[in-house]
Structure 1
Amino acid sequence: MNILIINASPRRRGLISGMMDIMGEEAVACGHHVEQIRVSDLAFRPCIGCMHCRTHEKCCLPEDDAVRTLDQIKAADAIVIGSPCYWGNLNGHLKMLFDRMVYGMMGETEYGIPIGLHKGKKAVIVSTCTTPYPWNIFFNQTRGVVRALKEILKWSGFKVKGVIQKGGTKKNPTLSAREEARCRSLIRKL
């Protein structure tokens, strides 16, 4: 199985990065091929809202890392997406990336009904925030990230196989053995 890990955290040694590394190691140990993308390292222009891609199934902007990332998503059997919580939502760079790739994630019928272009593929979502547990969920902090990513993935045809939400990262900046085990378990579910 080809697994693509999309890490939207700008922190190389943060908890999202740590969880992505654990998941990547577990996937390799299970015999899967793994590629990892750091969204903060990508160079791409934001969507200009011209709607060209909706009729031509190709972005009108020059080819950049957004197009290359879409090609990697198309080649993947499963994806793991991790994003820290920014104002109750996903990281802005990750949102910009998905905005640029919409034409390759979902299509439309002639009546404008969305059609997922990645049916049968699986996904795992990971999110962290400084708001302590369980308030990170009650106040829609990590839950906001998960909600947004589930929406994108659902309309793209992905089946979400698991979610990890870690709150309280300011006072608890490390992963517990239980959280590490959960990362490994979710990869084995794929």
Structure 2
Amino acid sequence: MRVRAVAHPLFLSHPIMERNKTPLVVTIMASPRLNGNTAALLDEAERSARAAGAEVKHLTLSHLNVRPCVGCMKCRITGTCALPHDDAHDIASLIHSADSIIIAMPVYWSSMPGTLKVLLDRLVYAFIDTSSPHRLPKPLQRGARLGVICSCTAPWPLSLTQTKPAVKSLRRIFRQGGFTVYPALCLTGTRSLTAPKPSALKAAASLGDLLARPR
């Protein structure tokens, strides 16, 4: 196992909130294993963020109702998704309110889990303004920050072929939205682990503390 520094309530609808002095950290649990290594690291990051004074909103993707994008492109013009209301609409509102986002995910086939990709496909309008066909997309979330926690069964250095492409994809999406993306915390060789080592938990706590700041 090598560590590279590079509470789960069901989420309900959340209106767009005015930013205040309390930083809002939105965490997205993208693993279906709610008691695994990924969850343990995210728990530690959330604990640290709360201890630093942030409000933490936890989302568990496997508990949410998110329809796949149908490619109608209407959100590029209207600034909102045309599909019937589901949890993706509420998450878009949270993104506008968040100071930081932490995504915790397993790595599948050198990529993010399908549930996370489906969600991000639905959130284009929350990240970029593409209303004008004559100009480049405009980032909508300048000043916000992203932290990534990922886990991978492959041992190091084989894990690099798995984690790097997955993290790169997330980094590209969020940077287009104006986010500052921090180095990822990648836990590898998880097939032989029953729990993250103390060094990994310490790194997760440091990430939570770092992101518990306002934009």
Q: TM-score, normalised by structure 1?
A: 0.95
- How far the C-alpha of 1:112 sits from its partner, in A, is 4.5
Distance 2:95 2:80 in 1: 15
How large is the RMSD of aligned CA atoms in angstroms? 1.2
Cα distance in 2 for partners of 1:164, 1:173 equals 18
**Normalized per residue, which structure has more helix?**
1
2:154 aligned with 1:154, yes or no? no
Alignment of 1:21 onto 2:54? no
Q: Secondary structure at the match of 1:98?
A: helix
Q: Which residue of 1 aligns with 2:189?
A: 168
Match of 2:101 among 74, 79, 91: 79
Matched letter for residue 111 of structure 1: H
Inter-partner Cα distance in structure 1 for 2:38 and 2:177: 23
- In the TM superposition, 1:93-108 aligns within 5 A as 93-108=115-130
Which AA in structure 2 matches 1:181?
A: K
- The one-letter code sitting in structure 2 at the alignment partner of 1:173 is T
Q: How far apart are residue 121 of structure 1 and its match?
A: 0.6
Cα deviation, residue 114, structure 1: 2.1
Segments of structure 1 that go 5 or more residues without pairing to the other structure are: none
- Inter-partner Cα distance in structure 1 for 2:91 and 2:166: 20
User: Percent identical across equivalent pairs?
Assistant: 34
State how far apart, in whole Å, the 2-side matches of 1:72 and 1:104 are.
9
- The one-letter code matched in structure 2 to 1:119 is R
1:42 aligns with 2:46: no
1:9-56 Cα shifts (integer Å, max 9, x gaps): 010011111111111111111111111001111102100001111111
SS at match of 1:4: strand
2:164 to 130, 136, 143: 143
Structure 2 unaligned regions, length at least 5: 1-22
Higher relative contact order (CA 8 A, sep 6+): 2
Distance in 2 of aligned mates of 1:121 and 1:130? 30
Match of 2:205 in 1: 184
Deviations 1:88-142 (A, max 9, x none): 10010000001011111111354351221100011101111111112111x2x11
- TM-score for both structures, normalised by structure 2: 0.84
Matched residue type, 1:133: W
Question: Aligned pair 1:127/2:129, yes or no?
Answer: no
Q: Over residues 151-189 of structure 1, what are the superposed CA-to-partner deviations in whole Å (9 max), with x where a residue is unaligned? A: 111111110123101111101232111111101111222
Residues in 2 aligned to 1:189 and 1:176: alpha-carbon distance in whole angstroms = 20
One-letter identity of the residue aligned with 1:71: S
Give the conservation status (yes or no) of the 8 Å contact 2:92–2:123.
Answer: yes
